[in-house]
Amino acid sequence: MSEFAQIETAELSAQEKSIIAELRDRSVKVRVSPNNYFVALFLATFFTGLLAYLEYNAAAIGLFSFAWVFIPFFIWTDRISFDGEKLTRTGFVPRIWAWLNNSRIKMKLDEIEQVETQAIRAVKRGGKVFYRYKTQLCVKDLQFVVSSGGGAYRQMVKKLLPFLSENILDNRSIELRDYINEPEDTLMKAEFARIPSTEVLETSVNEFQLADRTLKLARKKKEAKSADLEKADYLRTLGNELRLSGNLLQALEAFRRALAISPKNSWLLFEFARCLHSFAGAEKNAKLEKKALAVLRLAEQRADSGDDELFSRLGESYFQYGDWSRARKAFLKAIDSAEASFRSIRGLAEISLREGKIAHVIHHFATANRMAETPALRRWTQSETEYFSKLNEDDDYMEMELSRVNLLESLERGKKTSLKIALIALPVIIFGLILNEALIVNIGWAVSSVSFLIWVGIIMSRNLLSTRVPLDFE
């Protein structure tokens, strides 16, 4: 390496350090999902009505005032902040709860064991889907959930996820880390790239359902030049950004154009398949889902034999879509190509768990423990190994865990049933008030209030039972 190159590398290193230091200096805060607070507000309003009906006016006024003054304040102050080194839960309620049960409200970066992101389709309009993302960060005794809903979530993702090991992140978290962008900027880039709007592309949906229609042009394409490959890479990035922002039809069009330039790019095929599967799920189109899986298999065929990262990501996608057989083959290819693939070993453990092969689960987690690159991953894999070893060796412990899981499933069904009964009883109250029938009103209040109390009790019980039985429990 020349002296000039060494100086340039040193300057780049110093620049990276300054960027990291700048990121650490800027704290990012995102609001916690207010769902639990809204439930509390609804219940407080309901029981305010019950107290007023029973003519306990002072208690009704007090409960109503407390609920509508303090709960919005609790919602506003309950946030998760990240200062570059640790995550902290702020707010009055979390601090009081932590003081009561001696729990923590801080999570250091090097403690994080797992990061999983769920994408929930909130609203669908044509080819545009409004996604709500929920990212769960897990430590052994602590969980933080960060929900999308504004720019604060995107800032949190951009700042937090790059500091974490990729083996901690799931597929969707990696995609958010690499491609999440401001929706306005993404649409502007799509306009500059001359990607038609969603309304225009709605007429071309059927083209994606034809056998390999999207790849016919790609097969006829000659060897691409370097400038064309740069354009394909740009379109690939744009397609991922459009997909994450919910503009699925525009994302598919961007991927189609990129594939016309670079049809043998396995990563491009993989990301196109995931986008197509998202669109198929939004449209509830089984034919498109099958085609997405076919494109995934094509990406697997065209992948380089030494690309263990792509094989691991393919295996996780197969597993997510329910094809465990293909997932196992992809994980084994990753292991063969790298000889040490933490993600693939962990994936094999998950498949073995679904198949009920506890001995295989123990073996895979023990192997993953030896490959873990961070103390957090070693701690997590060690705890999983000990847990499943206990299940395999101790019949009494196995029976307790099975009872706990079965009880959790029963409580989940009971929770849904009690909530349905409570909501059905509310119109009965209104109907009785309209008819001025005291008996109907009394029955409605009694059924709904008891059902709501049972519902709350089940929720609290589920939270207690969600924790595994301690290994040293006798």
**Which residue has tokens 């691409």?**
224
Of 369, 310, 364, nearest to 334 by C-alpha is: 310
- Is the pLDDT at 10 greater than 80, yes or no? no
Count Cα neighbours of 337 within 13 Å in the Cβ-side half-sphere: 17
With bands split at pLDDT 50, 70 and 90, how would you rate the model's confidence at 43? very high
Task: Tell me how crowded residue 216 is: count the other CB atoms within 10 A of its CB.
Answer: 12
- Please check the confidence at residue 304 and state whether its pLDDT lies above 90: no
Give the tens place of pLDDT for each residue, 70-84: 999 999 889 999 988
Question: Quick count: other Cβ atoms within 10 Å of Cβ 65?
Answer: 11
Please tell me the distance from the alpha carbon of residue 186 to that of residue 240, in angstroms, as a whole number. Answer: 10
Interhelix angle 358-371/375-393, rounded to 10 degrees, is 160
pLDDT at residue 360, rounded to an integer: 94
Is there a contact between 268 and 243 (Cβ–Cβ < 8 Å)? Answer: no
Calculate the alpha carbon distances from 112 to 115, 116, 165, 174 in Å: 8, 11, 10, 15
SS3 19: helix
What pTM value is reported for the model?
A: 0.84
Smallest CA-to-CA distance from 60 within 70, 50, 74, 72 is with: 50
Q: Assign 3-class secondary structure to 312-367.
A: HHHHHHHHHCCCHHHHHHHHHHHHHHHCCCHHHHHHHHHHHHHCCCHHHHHHHHHH
SS3 state at 107: strand
Cβ-based neighbours of 438, under 8 Å, separated by 6 or more: 432
Span 365-383, pLDDT tens digits:
999 999 988 899 999 999 9
CA angle 101, 106, 111 (to 5 degrees): 110
Contact partners, residue 447, CB within 8 Å, separation at least 6: 421, 422, 425, 428
Tokens of 58: 């002072």
| CA 190-193-196 angle, 5° bins | 60
Which of 137-146, 264-273, 278-287 tops mean pLDDT?
264-273
| Residue 406 in this model has a pLDDT that exceeds 90 | yes
Give the list of residues 6+ apart from residue 136 with CB closer than 8 angstroms, or none: 114, 115, 116, 117, 118, 143, 144, 145
Position 31 scores a pLDDT of 85
| Per-residue pLDDT tens over the stretch 315-346 | 999 999 989 999 999 999 999 887 778 999 99
pLDDT value of residue 218: 44
pLDDT digits (tens, 9 = 90+) for 231-280: 999 999 999 999 999 888 899 999 999 999 988 899 999 999 999 999 88
Task: Compute how many other C-beta atoms are within 10 angstroms of the C-beta atom of residue 143.
Answer: 11
* Residue 453 or 197, more confident: 453
For the chain, the residue count is 474
pLDDT of residue 206: 56
Q: With DSSP H G I counted as helix, E B as strand and the rest as coil, what are the percentages for the chain, rounded to 5?
A: 70, 10, 20
